[in-house]
Structure 1
Amino acid sequence: MTNIAILTGRLARDPEARTTQSATNVTGITVVTDRPARDKDGNTYKDENGYTAKESEFHRVTCFNGLAKTVGQYCSKGQLVSVQGRIHYTQWEDKDGVTRYGTEILADKVDFLSRGNGSGENADNKDAPGID
């Protein structure tokens, strides 16, 4: 049995990097993917500009250790990336005692398919290949 997720999309915001108390690097990114929107009959349709309408989905992705450092250093909002990893489900209890559920992708590999959007120093680095 296999649990593999592959996403290609743009970063919705700049990466959020942190280090745990046990010195593990962790970086979170949000990858936005698009797919054609469909009407109630299952047909695609055009938006007001004449383009095929799209629906966007936002995916939480978490990177660890060396991958986390590289993604945190070289990625920025708007950048096109391809992520390979596995789907991970979490469950926790919030401060009000309500059970909450979450889904994220734990990344094994992130390929940089474009440079950042030019808003930060990361966007100018030409030596930032995808990292396994």
Structure 2
Amino acid sequence: MTTMRNSVQLIGHAGKDPEVKTILNDRKMARFSLATNDYYTNNKGERVEQTHWHQITAWGKIAEIVEKEVAKGKQILVSGKLSTNNWEDKDGNKRYSVEVLANEIAVFS
């Protein structure tokens, strides 16, 4: 039986400069948004671009790389895994989000 892996790889552009925080025991955490684009041809024969936004989170050494190298507009390759978050907002509504936990980052010049 084949084992399925939670693995994702994205290439896109940073939507903003990263937010970097130092947490317990001086461990860094960095977050930024990444835009990726898909293209398709609609029923009129026109090429349409669709932008998808992804929330990226990095910890430790990867967060340090993000802090030094990632900036709004830069092209980034992110490898990692998907993580889902569930919570209840102040009004009692159930909320849900998906983020990429990065384990590798490459910044293109």
Give the TM-score, by structure 2 length.
0.88
The answer to whether residue 105 in structure 2 is matched with residue 102 in structure 1 is no
Given candidates 52, 64, 71, the residue that maps to 2:66 is: 71
The answer to whether residue 91 in structure 2 is matched with residue 88 in structure 1 is no
Q: SS at the partner of 1:17? A: strand
Runs of 5+ consecutive residues of structure 1 not aligned to the other structure:
46-51, 115-132
Hey, what's the Cα distance between the residues in 1 that align with 2:45 and 2:24?
49
Q: Which has the higher contact order (CA 8 A, sep 6+)?
A: 2
Shift of 1:38: 4.2
Give the TM-score, by structure 1 length.
0.74
Q: How many equivalent pairs are there?
A: 106
What is the RMSD of the two structures over their aligned residues, measured on CA atoms?
A: 1.6
Q: Which residue does the alignment assign to 1:34?
A: 37
Shift of 1:75: 1.2
Deviations 1:53-103 (CA, angstroms, capped at 9, x unpaired): 311000000000111011112211000010000011110111122110000
8 A contact 1:19–1:26 mirrored in 2: yes
Runs of 5+ consecutive residues of structure 2 not aligned to the other structure:
none
The answer to whether residue 8 in structure 2 is matched with residue 13 in structure 1 is no
Q: SS at the partner of 1:89? A: strand
Identity level (%): 27
Shift of 1:44: 5.6
Q: Which residue does the alignment assign to 1:57?
A: 52
Hey, what's the Cα distance between the residues in 2 that align with 1:98 and 1:25?
31
Amino acid aligned to 2:55: R
Structure 1 residues 6 and 96 mapped into 2: Cα distance closer, same or farther (>3 Å)? same
Shift of 1:22: 4.5
